[in-house]
Chain A
Amino acid sequence: GAGVSQSPSNKVTEKGKDVELRCDPISGHTALYWYRQSLGQGLEFLIYFQGNSAPDKSGLPSDRFSAERTGGSVSTLTIQRTQQEDSAVYLCASSFSWGVYQETQYFGPGTRLLVL
């Protein structure tokens, strides 16, 4: 079946502009995660959605970052007034559910964001 998809695959923007990144999780997966990965670094957790529960936003680095998940499926990560330090690969992952033991997360190919 189809995996996690993300769009766009690459985005170049000017400092100060807003960007929207999209994630389509695997059908039937209730949990959705956003991470970002800067060059040569590990993955940094941003936000987590689980079903209809309130999202865990504890990883968002500033109030310029926000995310929505509509209808329990597609998610959009929005970065307002982008800064050069926002340049990174933004990865989305989904899993079937979340319990005491973490379900396997499946990652999308990522969106490479470059802020000039």
Chain B
Amino acid sequence: RKEVEQDPGPFNVPEGATVAFNCTYSNSASQSFFWYRQDCRKEPKLLMSVYSSGNEDGRFTAQLNRASQYISLLIRDSKLSDSATYLCVVNQDTGRRALTFGSGTRLQVQP
């Protein structure tokens, strides 16, 4: 089983749609969670951290479910500029001082 699993997609949605991605992680001791965005042939950039109580940043909402070991990202009112790959990222707290990245979910917003 992969340490961090995501549906690779692609998710093809029309502009204005609401889309949600889930991600599961294997290590229950994981401490912190993030969503990164990666545009084609570009480096990953932090989109938002994910807090236990859930958090919102404009059109983006992140949720954490520790019991089921998954995190989610909801994008409302999708824009063409949201087209990218969304990477689920976990700090597994295994002593390795680096993040574990999922393979990403590709989103394509269509006009």
Q: Is A96 located at the chain interface by the 8 A CB criterion? A: no
A48 contacts B98, C-beta separation under 8 Å = yes
- Write the B76-111 contact mask toward A (1 if CB under 8 angstroms, else 0): 000000000001000100001111111110000000
Confirm or deny: A79 has a beta carbon within 8 angstroms of a beta carbon on chain B.
no
Asked if B1 lies at the interface with its beta carbon under 8 angstroms from chain A, I say no
List chain A residues, Cβ under 8 A from B68.
Answer: none
- Is A56 in contact with B96, judged by CB distance below 8 angstroms? yes
In angstroms, Cα B43 to Cα A98, docked, is 21
Name the interface residues of B21-54: CB closer than 8 Å to any CB of A.
31-32, 34, 42-46, 49
Q: What per-residue 1/0 map shows which CB atoms of A28-53 lie under 8 Å from chain B? A: 00010101000011110100101000
Pick the residue among A48, A91, A104, A110 that contacts B97 (CB under 8 A): A48
For B45, what are the chain A residues with a Cβ–Cβ distance below 8 Å?
A: 107
Count of chain B residues with Cβ under 8 Å from any Cβ of A?
A: 21
> What does the 1/0 interface line of B50-64 toward A look like (CB < 8 Å)?
000000000000000
Q: Is the CB of B103 within 8 A of A109?
A: no
CB closest chain-B residue, reference A45: B98
B103's contact among A42, A91, A101, by CB below 8 Å, is which?
A42
Check if B43 sits within 8 Å of A91, measured CB to CB: yes
**CA of A110 to CA of B42 in the docked complex: distance in angstroms?**
8
Contacts of A35 in B (CB 8 A): 98, 101
Selected A-B contacts with CB under 8 Å, 22 pairs = A31-B97, A33-B98, A35-B98, A40-B103, A43-B44, A43-B101, A45-B98, A45-B100, A56-B97, A58-B96, A91-B43, A101-B31, A102-B31, A102-B32, A102-B91, A102-B99, A105-B99, A106-B46, A107-B43, A108-B43, A109-B42, A110-B43
Q: Which residues of B contact A (CB under 8 A)?
A: 4, 31-32, 34, 42-46, 49, 87, 91, 96-104
The 4 closest A-B pairs by CB, nearest first: A42-B103, A107-B43, A43-B101, A102-B91
* Chain A interfacial positions (CB closer than 8 Å to B): 31, 33, 35, 40-43, 45, 48, 50, 56, 58-59, 91, 98, 100-102, 104-110
